[in-house]
A and B are shown apart, each in its own frame.
Chain A
Amino acid sequence: MEAAIGVLMVCPMSLYLEQELDKRFKLFRFWTQPSRQEFLKNHAESIRAVVGNATAGADAELIDALPKLEIVSSFSVGVDKIDLNKCKKKGIRVTNTPDVLTEDVADLAIGLMLAVLRRICECDKYVRKGMWKMGDFKLTTKFSGKTVGIIGLGRIGLAVAKRAEAFDCPISYYSRSKKPNTNYKYHSSVVDLASNCDILVVACALTPETRHIVNREVIDALGPKGVLINVGRGPHVDEPELVSALVEGRLGGAGLDVFEQEPEVPEQLFGLDNVVLLPHVGSGTVETREVMADLVIQNLEAHFLNKPLLTPVV
């Protein structure tokens, strides 16, 4: 391998990944630069790879600023923060980390469903405040047997379905096209899906077509007893509409791991006990982040050795 290939990491994501990149390449940490313009002026010519994640990737501006860019390797499965069309046009390769995080995201989706329906976080808070008196309870909502509606029956959607089935939950889904080889009930519109399920889960990729796929109409269809779970991307949901529906009681509850402007989360949600909020931890396990980091490294090594990429998107 050539010496000192410049790799630009756009935001902090994994100390382990930084260490491994340091060993093999000349790693630049974008977020530590006092002036990004200065930095790019001085170092752009040496940067041949960008490492991004769900928070920050490679938009048109950055791609244009890096004339020697050959590959963008994302520490995520979602590539919505990368200008894929521009990469295609310029022959820049793009890789992501599919499969290795599928189970963690699906586990979290179910965990959020249980936390919301069974009020696990709310009751934990109640006990810690010393408020428990004998016989004092509020009925919570049974999870087993509830209909789970999945938007996007890809790897993550299927993994959510498999887990929910173990709780005897009937599964229905919306997808761009009906999937062969499943017994799950297909709905040709998200509104239709939302009208016919108890729990709606967002598990599709974020593209211009799926932005705000959960809008006011869908939220209304889901209704005051319905629960929304978002483990996709914040922009999948019209966030102001979601907030007002929850505040006004028009939606039964929500479990959200992602938001439109992370790490900013609408404060009106903080006081709602039927809402569980997480700081984008879908793939956030020690085990999976290490495997994801290894995959980023392997893709970069393969590229610079002129070997086939392991998980190319473009």
Chain B
Amino acid sequence: MATPIQKPSSPRQQLGQIVHLGLSSFLNTHHKEFSSKFQILRPSESKFPLDQFFTAEAQNTQAAICSGGFKLSADILRHLPSLRLIVATTSGLNNIDLSECRKRGISVINAGNIYSADVADLAVGMVIDLMRKISAGNRFVKTGLWPKQGDYLLGSKLGGKQVGIVGLGSIGVEVAKRLEAFGCKISYYSRKKKPCVSYTFYSNIHKLASVSDILVICCALTEQTRHLINREVLLTLGKEGLIVNIARGAIIDEKELVRCLLQREIAGAGLDVFEHEPRVPQELFGLDNVVLSPHFAVYTEGASRHLEEHLIGNLEAFFSNRPLLSPVLDDE
């Protein structure tokens, strides 16, 4: 007997239809869990340009997962007329046109705290690496120089050093908590002074740079923070100063940073992010006083698990008309 032909399940029989904007290896790894609960449209795998894909497939799509690096512009939003919710895989939302989302009544959720510990861990790892020359020392040993050249250069003690945190959000707070255990003194710069925080507040980035031995950039990238760390701030940080950036490349004027490093106007830098990723200024490759990483602060097995819970949890709640797990972002 012939098997009855199954009608393809309509999108409304699954929990819901989602469009995945951008590329995410996380989603590929957790493909089974997602496709069992949601119908996922993947424009990045289509031969058609985005606007054609959206027009053909996504006119009724109410929810989107937006991966980091995908420019979710007003133009894209116009092609997704039914969109009501965007769940970002990142904490940073600088790639999403938030004001257009507001105009259209689209709720936006970011990754919240799920990465904060991992990002803070990398920031602290870079601080210790720079102060104690860990990557440089590792190179020294692995190239066989220790028996030939004798003792390596001395590093710098962490205890008692002044750490200036730029942006005391969920990541900044985790960085502060960790570095305090090493005996560092914490100050911060933020748009507003944070209540119930014992760290010294500076409303001026130059003042923070002038009192700090180490600056750690933990803030969001916005119009106000683009090139916040410019030549003047770097010179104020000074010849013994270090800077670590695990936020967004464009918060630092990269050309000036490279110049200051080459001219020894600052002592060193730890960078997980760059202005034009994956391009990294080649002048940095020969320097022993920099630590470079390929924007991988969130790529741990722990974060991967949390991201899956975050995405699935919020999307299930949305499609079941239950309150979302994460707060919807407003104007701050």
**Interface residue ranges, A against B (CB under 8 Å):** 12, 103-104, 107-108, 110-112, 114-115, 118, 120-121, 123-124, 126-128, 130, 132-145, 162-163, 165-168, 262-265, 267, 269-270, 276-281, 284-289
- The complex places the Cα of A281 from the Cα of B133 at a distance, in Å, of 9
Most buried by B among A111, A132, A265, A288: A111
Set A12, A114, A278: member contacting B121, Cβ < 8 A = A114
- The complex places the Cα of A134 from the Cα of B154 at a distance, in Å, of 36
B265 at the interface (CB under 8 A from A): no
Top 6 nearest A-B pairs (CB, nearest first) are A114-B125, A142-B302, A111-B128, A166-B181, A142-B300, A144-B117
Set B129, B285, B294, B300: member contacting A115, Cβ < 8 A = B129
Q: Are A135 and B23 in contact (CB under 8 A)?
A: yes
- The complex places the Cα of A216 from the Cα of B186 at a distance, in Å, of 43
Q: Name the interface residues of B38-96: CB closer than 8 Å to any CB of A.
A: 69
**Interface residue ranges, B against A (CB under 8 Å):** 23, 25, 69, 117-118, 120-122, 124-126, 128-129, 131-135, 137-144, 146-147, 150-152, 154-159, 177-178, 180-183, 277-278, 280, 282, 284-285, 291-294, 296, 299-304
Given A107-B128, A143-B125, output 8 extra A-B contacts at Cβ < 8 Å: A107-B158, A114-B129, A115-B138, A120-B291, A127-B293, A141-B301, A166-B178, A270-B142
Q: Are A167 and B178 in contact (CB under 8 A)?
A: yes
- The complex places the Cα of A289 from the Cα of B150 at a distance, in Å, of 16
Residues of A within 8 Å of B280, CB to CB, are 127, 132
Q: What total count of A-B pairs have CB within 8 Å?
A: 185
Known: A111-B132, A163-B182. A279 touches B141 (CB 8 A): yes
What are 12 A-B contacts with C-beta separation under 8 Å? A104-B157, A111-B128, A111-B129, A114-B121, A114-B124, A115-B138, A127-B294, A135-B23, A276-B138, A278-B137, A279-B152, A284-B154
Q: Are A285 and B154 in contact (CB under 8 A)?
A: yes
Q: Are B117 and A118 in contact (CB under 8 A)?
A: no
Residues of B within 8 Å of A289, CB to CB, are 154
- The complex places the Cα of A128 from the Cα of B277 at a distance, in Å, of 14
